[in-house]
Amino acid sequence: MANKSNAERVTTAKTPEQCEILAENALKKGNAELAMLARQRRVELRAAWGRFELYNTRLMQVAAAPASLKAFAPERREPAA
């Protein structure tokens, strides 16, 4: 099997926690480049997760809005037959 490059290795970490573990292990083995790449990926994943949380929060606010704005909504009418 061919050796993976540091860039390929860092993509195996899927969470910020996995990136931090990878960075610590890389430093223990003397691979400073991999540690740096793992920490960069950790920051990217944390930023992406933050955007995801913000998106979900906005969705929850929109889902809750109709109930809070019900008094301002026009009454529903039955279609004319």
C-alpha distances in Å from residue 79, one per residue of 35, 73, 76: 65, 17, 9
Q: Mean of the per-residue pLDDT values for the chain?
A: 80
State pLDDT tens for residues 27-53: 999 999 999 999 999 999 888 877 777
Give the DSSP letter of residue 6: H
Cα gap 11→65, rounded to integer Å: 39
Determine the Cα angle at 78 with ends 72 and 80, to 5°: 130
Place of tokens 């949380």: 53
Residues listed for the chain: 81
Structure tokens at 74: 């026009």
* Residue extents of the structural domains in the chain: 6-64
